[in-house]
Each structure stands twice: as C-alpha cells, then as structure tokens.
C-alpha cells in the first residue's frame, strides 16, 4: 500500500524543479496583486486627438451632441406611446401594453412614471424593465375643470370616484367657484396626500 502511494507522489528532479518554478510564479503573482494598488499610475495623460482625427476622416459620427442632451430626451414618453411602441420594451407583454394605454386614457395621462405600478397586470419584472426606459410628459395631461365638471365627470377619474366627486361639487355649490386648486385644502375630505395625487389632473379654468 505504501509503495502504491509513493508511485503517485514520487517526482524526479526535473519534475520537482518544474513544480518549484510554477510555485514561484504563483507566489510572485499573489504578491503583485497585493502591492499593485500602492503604486500610483503615471501622471502622463494619453493624447486621443490623433485617434479622433482618424475617426472623423473615416466619416464616423461620434454623437458628441448627444452627450450634452438630457437623458430623458432619449426615453419613450408613456403619454404618447402606442401599444406597438410599448412592445419594444424588454419583457413587455401585449396584455400589459394594452392596459398601460387603457389606464392612461382613464387617468388622463401619467404625471409620474411610478404610476405604472397601478396598471393592472404590471408585475415587478415588467415594471423594472420599463421604468428606466420611459418618461412622462406632464404637458399632455388631460385636466378636469372643477368649476364646471359635474359629479359623473369627476367620479370617472380613478383617483376621485363618486364620494369625493360629490363632496367637491357640494362644496362648490355651497361656497362658490374655486379660485385656485389650493382651495381644495379647505375641504375636510381632501388631505395633503389626496391633494397631491389629484391636483395634476384638475384645473379651475382661465
């Protein structure tokens, strides 16, 4: 048995020298990895001007103008995108794309991309894939005039519904037209969180 083990671990002089060289190289590499960070890089900067000239001469556009553009300018606007455009987003399903458009119509548009969490059928995978690729143009929001809208028109909005719509109309009939949206704060039925949620969709008219 002992002789068998010796056959596996026995090396001749040439093999032992090879192993020592290999271990030495490994040791040097480990030492380098530990000390490399303590040696500062040279202060000489690399000149890329000649490389840029070659690119320009080759007729390649470097898209320098896009570097100064706002990141949101390249994102898809969820207040104007149709289902076909939404389907280009990774992991987007046709059902969810359709629900995004339907809910947008009912809301009057999205003022914040996080509202996509409220869309029926939106799961975390689709949301996380979508949120970084879209923006919400608040200028496209459809606003309801609280000085002229009736209960039915107000109640149609998902954030208002019947009881709040009825309270708004009753307050208007009792106190007169709203001079500003801030006047909604006077209503007991509207706290700060409710106001912040519905205000982007409301107007008092000109």
pLDDT for 94-145, tens place per residue?
A: 999 999 999 999 999 999 999 999 999 999 999 999 999 999 998 999 999 9
pLDDT tens column, 68-86: 444 556 899 999 999 999 9
- Total residues found in the chain within this entry: 206
Report the alpha-carbon distance of residue 184 to residue 188 in Å, rounded: 9
pLDDT confidence of 36, banded at 50, 70, 90? very low
Tell me if 86 sits within 8 A of 92, measured CB to CB.
Answer: yes
> Over 90: is that where the pLDDT of 88 sits?
yes
Query: What is the token pair recorded at 105?
Result: 């119509």
**Tally: H helices and E strands in the chain:** 10, 4
CA distances from residue 188 to 129, 166, 168 in whole angstroms, order as listed: 39, 13, 10
Question: How do residues 136-195 score in pLDDT, each as one tens digit?
Answer: 998 999 999 999 999 999 999 999 999 999 999 999 999 999 999 999 999 999 999 999
Please state the pTM of the whole predicted model.
0.62
Q: Residue 77's pLDDT is what?
A: 95
More confident residue, 107 or 47: 107
What mean pLDDT do residues 17-40 have? Answer: 69
* CATH annotation of 144-203: 1.10.150
CATH hierarchy code of domain 74-140: 1.10.150.280
Arithmetic mean of pLDDT over the chain = 81
Residue 42: predicted pLDDT: 44
Q: How far apart are the C-alpha atoms of 24 and 106, rounded to whole Å?
A: 72
């Amino acid at each position: 048995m002992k002789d068998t083990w010796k056959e596996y671990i026995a090396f001749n002089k040439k093999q032992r020298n090879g192993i020592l060289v290999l271990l030495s190289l490994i040791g040097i590499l480990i030492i380098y990895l530990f000390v490399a960070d303590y040696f500062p890089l040279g202060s000489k900067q690399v000149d890329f001007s000649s490389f840029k000239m070659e690119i320009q001469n080759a007729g390649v556009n470097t898209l320098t103008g896009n570097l100064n553009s706002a990141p949101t300018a390249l994102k898809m606007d969820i207040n104007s995108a149709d289902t076909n455009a939404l389907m280009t987003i990774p992991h987007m399903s046709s059902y969810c794309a359709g629900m995004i458009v339907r809910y947008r119509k009912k809301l009057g548009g999205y003022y914040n991309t996080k509202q996509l969490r409220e869309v029926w059928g939106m799961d975390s995978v689709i949301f996380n894939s979508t949120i970084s690729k879209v923006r919400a143009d608040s200028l496209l929001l459809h606003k309801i005039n609280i000085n002229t809208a009736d209960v039915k028109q107000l109640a149609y909005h998902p954030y208002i519904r019947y009881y709040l719509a009825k309270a708004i109309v009753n307050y208007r009939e009792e106190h007169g037209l709203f001079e500003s949206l801030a006047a909604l704060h006077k209503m007991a039925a509207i706290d700060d969180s409710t106001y912040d949620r519905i205000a982007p969709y409301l107007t008092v008219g000109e």
